[in-house]
Structure 1
Amino acid sequence: MTDQICVKNIKDNLWCFLFTIAAYISFTILPYLLMRFFSVGFDDSIVVMLVGQISLAFFSYKKFSKIFSGFNFKFLASKENLTLYISLFVLSLFQSSSAYIFSANNQYENSHVTIPLVVVLLFIAPLYEEVFFRGLVYGLIKLKFKNETIICYFITTLLFCLIHFNSYEMHQQLNIFISGLMLCLIRERTGGLFYPVLLHSAMNFLSLVMK
């Protein structure tokens, strides 16, 4: 798909982009609003967010997957892809261990782990966030900066950190930033979202194990 055709498709679907961005922000803060102002329990709030995230992920993929290259879930079991995934997984293991040690030294209090939280972190969040960030957002930024891959990595990752506003400690944001760069790298190198979703799920799993 040429850049001219892609730009035209973006202009024709501008309201969908704006709706998706607004919905993403809304679902991100919804649990906090429900718990603070409507006395909804944590688990129930997570379930509401989960349903919204699943719906938005399917909508985003159906609407935008044909507009941007690499916005797909094709599994390419090449030696290069598998080697890259394993390498980044090992790096994530080291990163999660370092973050845990730093948190323990600073007496960081971990949140209570519940079944809904596990489901969201291991299944919903990886799918939902990769469709949005490494699919939609990365595709838009890459169209703007064309071959400036490093710039695309950094802008996408900065936005990824920004939306995780609840992780306010410096070491938490650094952990998210490094993870975001790795997810952009594997998305670019593998040409799709399958490996980013798999790696994102593995990262979240390591974080849960460290708790």
Structure 2
Amino acid sequence: MKHADVIAKLNLEQKCALLSGDTVFTTRVYQKAGIPAITLSDGPNGVRKQAGAADHLGLNPSVPATCFPTAATVACSWDPALGEQIGQAMGEEAAAQEVAVLLGPGLNTKRSPLCGRNFEYFSEDPYLSGKMAASYVRGIQSNGISACPKHFAVNSQELRRMASDSVVDERTLRELYLTGFEIVVKEAKPKTIMSSYNLI
């Protein structure tokens, strides 16, 4: 069935509801339209599928999974082949746990030591970040799982990240913040991208 045929079966309210999800880590199901619910999981350094009720802070117990070194650590290897192997392993675990979308890798450019997510990001160098992220995405998606590079873009702080405004000139934006994302999209074709919350 074509995507247009599936969408035509939904009313406006149902289409809008697909954008918000059903629970913290699942999408809505519309059986009559043939749309199944899918499960998403945090995934910058391993599958984190919560057991039982999920919460956005990750406070409830998780299904056991491998905790890989952080992106910041793996980037120190300068080894995309290693990144692809890690991505493959994460994709295998995601498939085993029936997770359809792995929310990672994180490749936002590190510009502030105060950013609470720096451990999730590869580097302050956009070329290295893009190359490593592309390798992770290829590995994850080789298992039929959708990778979700994040946080697009200029996510430089956690404090009030949903209300902050990242003021940046165009040259800095293009040369530093967007370059890594351009590389990962062109080289690995991720099935999804996670946006950041901040204004730019």
Please give the TM-score of this superposition, normalised by the length of structure 2. Answer: 0.27
Structure (1/2) with the larger helix percentage: 1
Please give the TM-score of this superposition, normalised by the length of structure 1. Answer: 0.26
* Structure of greater relative contact order (alpha carbons < 8 Å, 6+ residues apart): 1
